[in-house]
Chain A
Amino acid sequence: MKLETISPVHDYLRIHKKFPTVWCSGCGIGSVMHAIIRAIHELEINKNSVALVSGIGCSSRMPIYLDFNTLHTTHGRALPFATGIKMVRPDMKVIVVSGDGDALAIGGNHFIHACRRNIDISLILINNYIYGMTGGQVSPTTPLESYAHTAPYGNIDPSFDAVKLATAAGATYVARGTNYHIVQTSKLIKKSLEHKGFSMVEVISQCPVLYGRLNNMKLPTTMLEWQRDHGVNIKAWDKLPEEKRAGKFPIGEFLDDTSRPEYTDSYYKMSKEVREEAANGEE
């Protein structure tokens, strides 16, 4: 069977090896994977030069299915693994996929430090507001009063805003999309891949089986409608009066800063200079 000919997307999948995926039907992770593939395809990036790294979680299973140099690491640690790759091979396109628990709870320290260094890695943070892989526990992005298996009386933990966190920590490209607005999301991912420096694209994604079921949104379509009704484009958001913002969130591009030096550039520039100095005996 020559599935490869059906769509350009299939060229990027390990079709004969690893399908079907572990994801539940109606899960949003597949469309994020599709959006990433589209972005790479449109940018004509050679598959051999892409390293796709992830931690542990439903979303972190993605590398298994994709025909790149793939690395499925430990929970929360994808960014420092990716940092090792990028430092040795600055010419490679290094992408990290992470869940909200993976990136913001156990991996929170790595997240802020990768932002701070402004190392040229693209982080695609798939935020489904819950721990999917382990069966629906509360995560650092679970909204207040939402239900999870470890928040049976409603969540009292305040949540992180990944966009604000990344911006404050020093990322230089920061955006947010949703699975409902998937075409826009793919464009944001494409821009993040073109950006030189640390980029973070948060994608609000549906987990109908756990977050949805526990929060009165059993159907994937209900969750997509929720994304449509709560994700407000940044321009409209800026004009939205405070009282109308409650429960909603802005989507789009928040930061695209090319003024700060990229980390591998700084490192290799320094290394080149000290080698030249040593060769000239100026020390």
Chain B
Amino acid sequence: MPNKNEIKGTPAFIQGNEAVVEAALAAGCSFFGGYPITPSSEIAEGCAEKLPLVGGVYIQLEDEIASMASIIGASLAGAKSMTATSGPGFSLMQENLGFAYIAEVPCVIINVMRGGPSTGLPTKLSQSDVMQARFGTHGDYTPIVIAPSNVQEVYDLTIHAFNCSEMFNTPVVVLLDELLGHMREKIIIPDEQDIYIQNRRYPSVPPEFYKPHDITPDLVSEFVAYGEGYRHNITGLTHDEQGFPTSKPAEVQKMLKKLRRKIHAHRKEIIQYDEDFMDDALYAVISYGSSARAAMSAVRMARARGIRVGLLKLKTLWPFPGKRVHQIASEVKGIVVAEMNMGQMIREVDRYAMGQCKVKGALRYDGLVIEPDEIYEKIVELRTKK
């Protein structure tokens, strides 16, 4: 990632939701299927306006189950595809999201989070879908989940989401929240030639040798769209490398291992995080999304008062950068996890800290934005309390 100051391009003053649309188009997205829901609707509206202008497809489906199904169908037909939703819709998408994992279909799902459960808080702030994005659909799978914290990152990481989905034949979930979706910020839209675009790998073999789920040396299969003469089968049943249903124990295990390993083997290409003031830190704050903005202010406040604290800002949540967190836990006296839910990411941090240091949550879950003060207080508590 180039440094922000080095990015050349066109400045724009836009909302997070608008940045999603711009980035999707830049990444080559040509299909949007969705169902309106606050606070994500501007993404659908932007796609409805812009996709027809570039020869792409916008379609409003009858519900989110159909939305998720349509983007999978579109992707299998050769389009880069996307949907956008919020909690209730994300819940409805889970079954077909699982289909995309097992059938290895690239697509991007934007979830502009709201408070839950159920209809919850449609217009307020929350980061409570972190675990749903990790474990929401049934079965074992290894998702890629991305969480920007400002509008520039919304743009850059939406492109990263498309690239990861195309590279690894997998759905990628981007978690925004109400603040990011609706807030306007100045961003730089990079020039076209400066944007890295990944496309799916076209088969290097003729149809009779093609296996849609081939276990290649780097675990990523070649992907061909329907209608190109390959006539392959895609199923949501546990399948062999050719895409035909199987329940043979050895093949079942092989398929499940591949789904996990193709992500794990490439986690360095997927995982992104930023560190600030970590070099001499005695304490660390770990945060992501909108909370990371308050966390940065809290860290600055603490530094101004002479407390040696640093920030680890996660830009991708899953796969989790466990190694780095484990290492940080070995170097600091305590970690504060700042998030807007009742404590979701803190479980994962705790799991990797392995008792090497204290782990405390700065948690807010009343629909309002977490304040720097609340996080600062937790840092102070870490220092003073045993």
Contact = CB atoms under 8 A, between A and B. Distances in A.
Contacts of B237: 72
A274 B50 CA distance: 10
Nearest to B56: A271
A80 interface: yes
B197 interface: no
Interface stretch (B62-70, B144-152, B170-178, B354-362): B62-70
Contact of A51 (B67, B226, B244): B226
A211 B11 CA distance: 66
Contacts of B79: 88
A10 B226 CA distance: 21
12 contacts: A56-B236, A69-B226, A69-B230, A70-B231, A70-B234, A80-B70, A85-B73, A88-B31, A110-B62, A113-B66, A267-B52, A270-B52
Interface of A: 14, 17-18, 47-49, 51, 53, 56, 63-64, 67-74, 77, 79-89, 91-92, 109-110, 113, 267, 270-271, 274-275, 278
Interface string B153-172: 00000000000000000000
Contact of B226 (A85, A87, A110, A113): A85
A87 B227 contact: no
Interface of B: 30-31, 33, 52-53, 55, 57, 59, 61-63, 65-67, 69-79, 81, 95-96, 99, 226-237, 242, 244-245
Given A72-B235, A72-B236, A275 B226 contact: no
A89 B57 contact: no
Contacts of B57: 87-88, 267
Given A88-B74, A113-B62, A74 B235 contact: no
A81 B99 CA distance: 11
B76 A85 contact: yes
B234 A87 contact: no
A81 B65 CA distance: 10
B17 to A, nearest CB: 22
Contacts of B245: 64, 72
B308 to A, nearest CB: 52
Contacts of A109: 62-63, 66
Given A270-B52, A274-B53, A74 B96 contact: yes
Contact of B231 (A53, A69, A85, A87): A69
Contacts of B236: 56, 72-74
Closest 8 CB pairs of A and B: A84-B73, A80-B66, A80-B69, A84-B74, A69-B226, A84-B70, A88-B77, A72-B235
Contact of B55 (A64, A80, A275): A275
A71 B76 contact: yes
Contact of A84 (B52, B71, B231): B71
A86 B70 CA distance: 10
Pick the most buried of A67, A68, A83, A87: most chain B CB atoms within 10 A of its CB.
Answer: A87
Contact of B31 (A53, A64, A67, A87): A87
A56 B69 CA distance: 14
A91 B242 CA distance: 26
Contact of A274 (B52, B65, B71, B78): B52
Given A69-B226, A81-B73, 18 more contacts: A48-B227, A49-B227, A69-B230, A70-B231, A70-B233, A72-B245, A74-B96, A80-B61, A80-B67, A81-B69, A84-B81, A85-B74, A88-B78, A91-B227, A110-B62, A110-B65, A113-B66, A267-B52
Q: Which of A49, A53, A80 has the most CB of B within 10 A?
A: A80
A70 B242 CA distance: 12
A81 to B, nearest CB: 4
